[in-house]
A and B are shown apart, each in its own frame.
Chain A
Amino acid sequence: MTDRDARFSPLTVLGDGLLLLCAIAGFTLSFLSLYGGERLDEFIATPTTALDLCATQPGILLGPAVLFALATLCAWSLPRFRWAAAGGLAVLWGLLLFFNWDRTVQGAAITVRIISDLFTRQVTWGRAFAYESGLTPSQEGAAAKLFLMLALALLALALGWAVARARRWWLVLALTLPPLLPGLLADLYPDWPPFMALALCWCVMLLTDLCKWAAPDRRGVLTLAMLPCVGLALALITFAFPREGYTRPDWALRAEVRLSDTGIRLADFFAQFDGPFHNTVTYVGAAEEADLAHAGPLNYSGRTVLRVSSDCPDRLYLRGASLAVYEEGVWQPLPQGTYQEYLDRAGEDASSFPLEFPALASMGEDGAGGPYTATVDDVGTAGTCVYTPYFLFQAQWDEWGMLPVEDAYFARRQGQRQHTMTFMQIDPRRGLFPEDFAPALLAEYRDYVLAHYLDMESELSQYLARLCVDGGAAGAARYGESYDSIQAALDVAALLDKLCEYDPETPAAPEGEDPVLYFLNDSRRGYCMHFASAATLMLRSLGVPARYVSGFTAVPRPGRTVDVPDRAAHAWVEVWVDGFGWYPVEVTPPAAFEWYQQGELTPIALPSDPVEESDGPESTPTPTPSDDPAPSDEPSQPQGGDGEGPAGGLDPAILINIAKALAAAVGVAALLWLGQYLPKRVRIKKLSAPDRNRAALDGYNYLLRMERWGGRVDQRAVELAQKAKFSPHTLTGEELDELRTLVDRERERLCIVLSPVQRLVFRYLWGMPRRPEPPGSEQPPEKPE
């Protein structure tokens, strides 16, 4: 029996008992209120689940749990044979489990199913646990009750040890918090009083942590004094900041926006350097320019940048910014003042934003799809750009919190990252726009477009035009004559698909080489930036006004929110359609989306239901927005589809990997612990051996081994060792104690004089200095240094 074990005080037992009761009762009632009871009605169609049934009769669970907790408290507080007593309780528990194994396992599965169901309905990740018990609801309730009863008994046993013996607050936290975490993370609330009882136990144990080895009666007094004080503090906080009517304060909202901005700026800053943070794709949320000349292999982190919800069932091309000027491999916006000249010239006719033209043109026509609503929550893009679907309808910029910037993009209002917009799906080839629609309005802007969106170097233009003609992509365009720009764009896209290969690992073009020409002539491989840039320039060479656009693609699910990762960033082309406006065309070959689908560069899992993330244009994209709710050329989703039941979820391989990693971590921790614990036990056993001479020699050997750490062998230790070795007499107990003291003292001394790193290793190998706690002593522990 160690010195520590000998400590016993009724006050300590009373304090520990109150803490244990707070923990077990608080946990039980919090758990039941979190996952059972009326709360379930909000989320589950069926009003009664097994946990719901349990929650209606909390006493059935609480009573045995409290009784078992008291039994474990008694067992762990015994001055002797406590392990035997606790072992007896464990055996009793094991017998109960053994005779109710099947029903308990069923109850466990039912409980996990209910919790996972609640969790996955509330959060945007996680996987529902599918389990059919084949039992009636009342039988399920009984099974869950049995499981919870046994689980609470086991928890009480462990909590008894943590509170009465180990006295570690973090152990109590680790035992009681994880089962509640899914509910808390899913924004569910437990009943407040029991949750506060649990918090009371946590806080009191934390506050008495430094005094846990004080004299037992003093520790008991401290615990008993702390309980009402901390309880009062918790009550005051609850009353001062009540849950009813709580809204997140404005400062928190503002801080969130600032933090997000800062994080994005930092990410962009690091992205410009080579190394693990290198991100060659500068257009992810950065609307200022697109540097094709230095665009190397694609490298994404997989972080979510947008959260999109929409009632439109089709793929959305979320437009960021368009770029007009191509110089030395870099796409840039038009020079400042260019658009202002147009506005000055157009006067009142320029009151509408050019991106509104298509919706204005198709207003009132039956063939347009929609209107739809989309909510885009910008959680991780850089810059001030708002990512908007095509084609915005009845735009109210102020209410939507965005501002048109020239004819290139929408800027978001400061501090606002979520925008809800109305849009339509329009196909100009169906001839939806009236012939007499605002000709003056379009005419002014058309001149502007022709003046600025056909610009390119003449040599490059001639070369690309010849390439298009030779490749058969110039049929729809005839240099300023009447042409079908959309068909021309599709022809160019087909030509590019024939000429070049999609490769996300495409390195940057050599210095001095034009990246588009290098892409078309030499490497013949690239990704969306290369295809969109080449297509834009080729269309311009054919006389079709076109511009480079960057943004994201997402496949929304009506009624759900979709996470859009950064790898869904994309580039495409907008072509000018007379009498209509700008129209987006997909020019990247379908092979691109196989790469997106693989998701090899992202840790994010595949889409899951009910809330899933978009993994980019994983299927062949619909090059032009369509009102067809189910495009025929779009491959089916990997798992399930729109409107189906829970089919997605975490990849089992990921779960297995996580489990492996956890097991490895636990194994390493266990090995580390054993590596320290076993030698320490051996050392203690050797020094306490019945053969005192042998024990003395072992102690002397330890001193010799400590010499390697700079230890000193006291002359007295040498004398005692010589006596033990050579004398016919046996050492007395006092002499052996003296030698042990010398060993302990030397170990303590080394713990002080060694450098921090050496001390860490030494403490690991030789254990911590013994805490001087004489039996029944009231003397506080001393650690001289």
Chain B
Amino acid sequence: MPPACVDAMILRRILYGLTLVGVLLFHITNENYLAQFLLCLCVALPLLSLALSLPGMLGCRLELSSLPPALERGADGRWQASIKTPNGLPLSRLTIHLRCKNLLNGQRDHRRLVLSGVARRRPVELTVSTDHCGLLELRVDRARVYDYLGLFSLRVARPQPARMLCRPIPVPVELPTLPEAQGARPSPVSAARSGPGEDYELRDYRPGDPMRSVHWKLSSKWDELVVRELAETLIPLPLLTLDRFGESDALDLLLDRTLGMSRALLAVQRPHALLWLDKDGQPQLRVVSDEKQQTECLLDLMGSFAPPAGPSLDDHPELLRGPDGPVFRIHVTLKGGDTRD
């Protein structure tokens, strides 16, 4: 179905064509000077219109932005399209084909903006559908600017797409009992994070130990290499896993629960990791230790397409690995979080 504006512009061209033909016939069949003048005017007017419009048409620039950049599902958000014109004269008409896409569920929304008499930089605002979670992206498919008669048009350069993160609404969840310590071997990662004044244990040197860990003073005293090692015991890392597929509503609920779980873990000072399979079945693991990482994790989680159906992590136990060391798996489902070893 052709959009209304296209109709209007085509209609203008048709009308101009008919007028030109009529004036031409009038000139052919009439020997009056007025017939010639009309013909000249009919030819000159579009050229004049183009000449007057061209600076504005060539200098027209578009910018897209989102307001705010991130928001919760269901909140009010707006896209903003800013039009920059090079001079004070208004542009006659600008048509912008916009495509808004939810990168998570793939939902698309095409819009067409028809702007008349554009003169200022105040952005045009468009409502955003925040019915579902996901990373929303607004792109300009094509944009055209018309001359004052609406007969000629030029393509406007496409701006950078704008993005808006539509967060899940975190659901308050009850954390499962988390293991405090499971007496395991020392972890280099933990050592690296250790600060001054912490307890160390001594043991014999084993090939592969970093030289920095050698306790030189005691080694010289005991005449054998002694290595010092952090005495801290490893605490299993909570690993939130989720099967990132399903319908939009189900995904929303799943993400709500996932975010609720993540926040609950952060609230008790428990860094954790999120693991999911992307649409190609590749595992994606992200460590979340603060809110910033949580946002980045959400961007990754919701920035790619989640198919209605896909592989479950339960079918791939070999993929259930944390960044290092033991993990404590919490599988997030629509009903809550199941703890699984």
Q: Are B28 and A187 in contact (CB under 8 A)?
A: no
* Pairwise interchain contact B120-A785, C-beta atoms closer than 8 A: no
How far is B36's CA from A246's CA once the two chains are assembled, in angstroms? 9
Distance, CA A199 to CA B40, complexed state (A): 13
B99 at the interface (CB under 8 A from A): no
Query: B29 near A: Cβ within 8 Å?
Result: yes
Whether the Cβ atoms of B45 and A785 lie closer than 8 Å is no
**0/1 per residue, B85-96, Cβ < 8 Å to A?**
000111111000
Is the pair A756, B117 in contact by a Cβ cutoff of 8 Å?
no
Q: Is the CB of B116 within 8 A of A207?
A: no
Residue among B5, B36, B90 making CB contact with A219, cutoff 8 Å? B90
**How many angstroms between the C-alpha atoms of A756 and B37 in the bound complex?**
38
Which residues of A are found within 8 Å of B305, using beta-carbon distances?
none
Chain A residue numbers with a CB within 8 Å of B125 are: 779
Residues of A whose CB lies within 8 Å of any CB of B are: 184, 187, 189, 199, 203, 206-215, 218-219, 221-222, 225-226, 229-230, 233-234, 237-238, 240-241, 243, 246-248, 252, 255-256, 259, 751-752, 755-756, 759, 777-785
Complex Cα gap A94–B91 (Å):
42
How many angstroms from the CA of A210 to the CA of B91 in the assembled complex?
9
* Contact present for B48 and A783 (CB under 8 Å): no
Quick check: A211 and B92 within 8 Å, CB to CB?
Answer: yes
9 shortest A-B CB distances, which residue pairs? A214-B117, A785-B112, A218-B119, A210-B92, A211-B117, A783-B114, A214-B90, A248-B31, A218-B90
Mark B residues whose CB is within 8 Å of A: 1-5, 7, 25, 27-29, 31-34, 36-37, 40-41, 44-45, 48-49, 52, 83, 88-93, 111-120, 122, 124-126, 146, 148-150
- Could you tell me the distance between the alpha carbons of A212 and B52 in the complex, rounded to whole angstroms? 16
Q: Which residues on B sit within 8 Å (CB–CB) of A756? A: 1-2, 7
User: Would you call A259 and B28 a contact (CB within 8 A)?
Assistant: yes
Contact of B117 among A212, A229, A777 (CB under 8 A): A212
Q: What does DSSP make chain B's interface, helix, strand, loop or mixed?
A: mixed
In the bound complex, what is the Cα–Cα distance between A782 and B118 (angstroms)? 10
Q: Chain B nearest CB: distance from A552 CB in Å?
A: 22
- Complex Cα spacing A333 to B327, Å: 111
* Chain A residues, Cβ within 8 Å of B122: 777-779
A207 partner, pick from B5, B52, B146, beta carbons under 8 A: B52
- CB-CB under 8 A for A237 and B41, given A208-B148, A211-B116, A215-B120: yes
Verify A241–B117 contact, CB threshold 8 A. Answer: no
State in angstroms the CA–CA spacing of A385 and B241 once bound together: 96
CB distance from A576 to the nearest CB of B (A): 43
Task: Kindly list chain A residues whose C-beta atoms are within 8 Å of the C-beta of B33.
Answer: 189, 243, 246
In the complex, the answer to whether A783 meets B113 with C-beta atoms within 8 Å is yes
Whether the pair A203, B45 counts as a contact (CB closer than 8 A) is yes
Q: Which residues of A contact B93 (CB under 8 A)?
A: 210
Bound together, the chains give a CA A229 to CA B37 distance in angstroms of 18
Q: Which residue of B lies closest to A217 (CB)?
A: B119
User: Which residues of B sit under 8 angstroms from A238, Cβ to Cβ?
Assistant: 37
Closest to B83 in A: A780
Q: How far is the CA of A210 from the CA of B32 in the complex (A)?
A: 32
| Residue among A187, A233, A255, A778 with most chain B CB within 10 A | A233
B146 touches A210 (CB 8 A): yes
How far does the alpha carbon of A782 sit from the alpha carbon of B48 in the complex, in Å? 27
Q: Are B112 and A784 in contact (CB under 8 A)?
A: yes
Which one of B28, B44, B150 contacts A233 once the chains associate, using CB atoms below 8 Å? B44
Which of B4, B34, B52 meets A783, CB within 8 Å?
B4
CB distance from A64 to the nearest CB of B (A): 29
Nearest Cβ on chain B to A757's Cβ, whole angstroms: 11
Given A248-B31, A252-B27, A783-B5 contact (CB < 8 Å) = yes
Q: CB-nearest residue of chain A relative to B51?
A: A229
Q: Shortest CB–CB separation between residue B5 and chain A, in angstroms?
A: 7
Instruction: Give the distance in Å from the alpha carbon of A252 to the alpha carbon of B7 in the complex.
Output: 34
A215-B117, A784-B112, A785-B3 known; A241+B40 contact, CB < 8 A: yes
Partner of A256, one of B28, B32, B91: B28
CB distance from B60 to the nearest CB of A (A): 13
Q: How far is the CA of A226 from the CA of B92 in the complex (A)?
A: 13
Of B1, B44, B111, B118, the residue contacting A214 (CB under 8 A) is B118
Report Cα–Cα, A653/B1, bound state, in Å.
48
Complex contacts, B89 vs chain A, CB 8 Å: 218, 221-222, 225
Contact of B28 among A240, A247, A252, A777 (CB under 8 A): A252
- Quote the shortest CB–CB distance from A119 to chain B (angstroms): 15
Known: A199-B41, A222-B90, A246-B33. A784 touches B113 (CB 8 A): yes
Minimal Cβ-Cβ distance residue in B for A256: B28
Contact present for A229 and B148 (CB under 8 Å): no
Residue of B5, B28, B31, B52 near A229 (CB, 8 A) is B52
For A782, the closest partner residue in chain B by CB is B124
Are B45 and A219 touching (Cβ within 8 A)? no
Please name the residue on chain A nearest to B46 by beta carbon.
A207
- Chain A contacts of B117 at CB under 8 A? 210-215, 218-219, 780-781
Q: Across the interface, which residues of A come within 8 angstroms of B119, CB to CB?
A: 214-215, 218, 778, 780
A184 neighbours in B (Cβ, 8 Å): 34
Given A229-B48, A756-B1, decide whether A241 and B124 contact each other with a Cβ distance below 8 A: no
Closest-CB distance, B110 to chain A (whole angstroms) = 8
Q: How far is the CA of A243 from the CA of B1 in the complex (A)?
A: 49
A378 to B115, CA, bound (A): 54
Specify which chain B residues have a CB less than 8 angstroms from the CB of A252 in the assembled complex: 27-28
- 23 residue pairs of the A-B complex, CB under 8 angstroms, read A184-B34, A207-B48, A207-B148, A210-B117, A211-B148, A214-B90, A218-B90, A218-B119, A219-B90, A221-B89, A222-B89, A226-B52, A237-B41, A243-B33, A252-B27, A256-B28, A259-B29, A756-B2, A779-B125, A782-B115, A782-B126, A783-B4, A785-B3
With A and B bound together, what is the CA distance between A300 and B88 in angstroms?
61
Q: Which of A209, A213, A219, A782 has the most CB of B within 10 A?
A: A782
Q: A187-B32, A238-B37, A256-B29 are in contact. List 14 more A-B contacts (CB 8 A).
A: A207-B48, A207-B148, A209-B148, A211-B116, A213-B116, A218-B88, A237-B40, A240-B40, A241-B37, A252-B28, A751-B4, A779-B122, A781-B116, A784-B111
When C-beta atoms are compared, the residue in chain A nearest to B124 turns out to be A782
> How far in angstroms is the closest Cβ of chain B from A309?
17
Residues of A within 8 A of B52 (CB): 207, 225-226, 229
Q: From B150, which residue of chain A is reached at the shortest CB distance?
A: A210
Collect the chain B residues with CB atoms within 8 Å of residue A755's CB. Answer: 1
CB distance from B227 to the nearest CB of A (A): 67
Contacts of B120 in A (CB 8 A): 215, 218, 778-780
**B29 to chain A: which residues have CB within 8 Å?**
256, 259
- In Å, the complex CA distance between A219 and B124 comes to 19
Among A225, A229, A255, A780, find the residue whose CB has the most chain B CB atoms closer than 10 A. A780
Q: Which one, B3, B4, B28, contacts A255 given CB within 8 A? A: B28
Question: Across the interface, which residues of A come within 8 angstroms of B115, CB to CB?
Answer: 780-782
Rounded to whole Å, the gap between the CB of B67 and the closest CB of chain A is 14
Please give, as numbers and ranges, the residues of chain B lying within 8 Å of A226 by CB-CB distance.
52
Nearest-neighbour CB distance to chain A for B25, whole angstroms, equals 8
Interface centre among B89, B93, B112, B117 (most CB of A within 10 A): B117
Instruction: Give B23 Cβ to nearest chain A Cβ, in Å.
Output: 12
For the complex, what is the distance from the CA of A214 to the CA of B90, rounded to whole Å? 7
Docked-complex contact B114 and A782, CB < 8 angstroms:
yes
Minimum C-beta distance from A386 to chain B (A): 21
Measured CB to CB, the closest approach of chain A to B59, in angstroms, equals: 15
Distance to closest chain B CB from A170 (angstroms)? 11
In the docked arrangement, what's the CA distance between A357 and B11, Å? 63
Instruction: For B5, list chain A residues within 8 Å (CB).
Output: 783, 785
Complex: how many Å from CA A296 to CA B146? 57
Residue in B closest to A769 when the chains form the complex, CB atoms: B4
A783 CA to B116 CA, complexed, in Å: 9
* Complex-state Cα separation, A207 to B146, whole angstroms: 12
Contact partners of A199 in chain B: CB under 8 A: 41
Q: CA separation between A218 and B126, bound complex, in Å?
A: 23
Among B93, B112, B116, B122, residue most surrounded by chain A Cβ atoms (within 10 Å):
B116
| A243: chain B residues within 8 A (beta carbon) | 33, 37
In the complex, what residue of chain A is closest to B93 when comparing beta carbons?
A: A210
- Of chain A, the residue at the smallest CB distance from B45 is A203
